[in-house]
Structure 1
Amino acid sequence: MRAKHLMALCFAFSGQVAVAACGADEGTCDISSGSYHIELPDSENPPLVIFLHGYGGSGSGTMKNRGMVEPLLARGYAVMAPEGAVRNGRQSWNFYDGFGDRDEKVFLTEVVQDATDRFGIDGERVVLGGFSAGAFMVNYLACAAPETFSAYVPVSGGFWRPHPETCGGPVRLFHTHGWVDNVVPLEGRLLGGGRYHQGDIFAGLEIWREANECVDTKPDGFGTTDQFMRRRWTCADGGALEFALFPGGHTVPNGWADMMVDWYEGLPGG
């Protein structure tokens, strides 16, 4: 690792994991448009999983989800949790009109560049994931600019109504959702006294099939991984689409991290 990267790290080892520190606050890295937290595996030039917290959550809280973070580190991935911008006293993401002023694509691109410069992560192998409001952000960014990151892995969040008419493609996307999720139900729900309407997850999958030029609406692959029931579609070159349903509610489920990495590493160039 280059000398400037060594100077930027404060190593707090747990097994073969290093917690990165930037500035005065251990684990917090500040840039002009916001901040993020990151943990690194004990390897050079690792790929990166960015995971966006839900509404009212935090990047620091995301890093406390050790059931998600530690499997990713063990597989050789750096894990980053950015901080959402404050809106109405809570942190969230500007994925919908009126939800903030920050350009989230610019912010997320900048945090990746900063982590590349500071810690030597592989900026070409970046997976963007998120939970709930973070997952909505993942879907909207993937729709508007699918080339920004190498894959997208939302958990418990899709689009809001009205659904996008079209999305850019091809995109490599793996959506995971709970069967009994009543915060972001599969069919969506009304919010804010009816001012907002979460979208239908299956309608979102239709949008992704069209963006990816999938050969049929019918899945051409089914399977199970532990608690997850999975289905996938064959898509145009450069695209991949898969959906995993689990029996729980509004949560990042146990086993998600390894399942997601297995999917990503099975993709061409993953």
Structure 2
Amino acid sequence: MRLRDLLAVLFATAATPVLAACGQDQGVCETDSGSYRIELPEGSNPPLVVFLHGYGGSAQGTMKNRGMVEPLLARGYAVMAPEGAERNGRKSWSFYPGWDGRDEAAFLKEVVADAAQRFGVDDHRVVLGGFSAGGFMVNYLACADPEAFSAYVPVSGGFWRPHPESCAGPVRLFHTHGWTDNVVPLEGRALGGGRFLQGDIFAGLEIWRQANECADNRPDGFSTTGQFMRRKWTACADGSALEFALFPGGHSVPRGWADMMVDWYEGLPGG
């Protein structure tokens, strides 16, 4: 056997147990603050989509959404699903400022660093997405630390009332929402007997326009992608991006979202 072939066999033998235990076959990867699941595309140093599940969901449930995961893998992106922490007996995210619980921003940075070390994902090209409560988490993290990830792509989740007065700075964000969503309606709703109030999605977009220093409230770009009706603001701070997409369905991650999101991300400077 030639030396090159021998080294290839030895490398494959050494690498397989790590990937099988933590990566392929949807194995669980443990870190100091929690855990995650990950699937990798072919090739080395892939960009990464980190996607946060909704209230009562799980990392395993996220990875079972093959209509989202497989298009991302096919486009060359690794897909990570971190595990939410227990809140009131169900897994979710401590997204609201002042809530007790895990430091979610630190946890998400921790799992990305772990995946970069274990699997060689590109920690400079990491997109943070999330659904429902995961989408709320994405918005609040983007508001507090806009440079923590290279872009933010919440689905069906915005802010809670009272809305933030301001955010830390310009951000690259693409929000997707269902027209008939009645779990997180566009107008928001009361939860817990009125103790919690979901915010208004359009009021959230106003906060992002202010953070991005946009010259006008009016969008200056309109387009359609399949079922998605899209609007964007481009007369904003250098390096920022803001887009909003509506689809006719309800509370879900819609089919077609993954490819649309990747097209948006790859169209950004440095995407």
TM-score class, shorter-chain normalisation, is over 0.9
- The aligned counterpart of 2:115 is 115
Contact 2:225 2:260 in 1 (8 A): yes
Q: 1:218 to 1:146 in 2, by over 3 A?
A: same
CA shift digits 1:56-90 (9 cap, x unpaired): 00001100000000000000000000000011110
Distance 1:8 1:160, change over 3 A: farther
In the alignment, which residue of structure 2 is the partner of 1:80? 80
Identity %: 78
Give the match for residue 218 of structure 2: 218
TM-score using structure 1 length: 0.93
Counterparts of 1:90-239 in structure 2, within 5 Å, are 90-97=90-97, 99-234=99-234, 235-239=236-240
Which amino acid in structure 2 is aligned with residue 220 of structure 1? D
Give 1:101 deviation, angstroms.
Answer: 1.5
Question: Could you say which residue in structure 2 is the equivalent of 1:252?
Answer: 253
Q: Where do 5+ consecutive residues of structure 2 fail to align?
A: 1-7
Q: 1:102 to 1:229 in 2, by over 3 A?
A: same
Please say if 1:240 is aligned against 2:241.
yes
Superimposed CA distance per residue, residues 119-147 of structure 1 (whole angstroms, 9 cap, x where no aligned partner) = 00000000000000000000000000001
Query: Which deviates more from structure 2 when the two are superposed, residues 169-178 or residues 88-97?
Result: 88-97
Measure, in 1, the Cα distance between the counterparts of 2:102 and 2:11: 29
Any unmatched runs of 5+ in structure 1?
A: 12-18
Distance 2:158 2:17 in 1: 37
Aligned to 1:14: none
- Deviating runs (4+, > 3 A) in structure 1? 2-11, 97-100
User: Structure 2 length as normaliser, TM-score?
Assistant: 0.92
Distance 2:151 2:181 in 1: 24
Deviations 1:140-159 (A, max 9, x none): 00000001000000000000
Partner amino acid for 1:221? G
Aligned partner of residue 136 in structure 2, secondary structure: helix
Q: Indicate the structure (1 or 2) with the bigger Cα radius of gyration.
A: 2
Task: Give the superposition deviation at 1:97.
Answer: 4.5
Structure 2 letter corresponding to 1:93: W
Contact 1:138 1:152 in 2 (8 A): yes
| Residues in 2 aligned to 1:85 and 1:30: alpha-carbon distance in whole angstroms | 13
Distance change in 2, residues 1:114/1:162 (3 Å):
same
Structure with higher helix content: 2
Aligned residues: 261
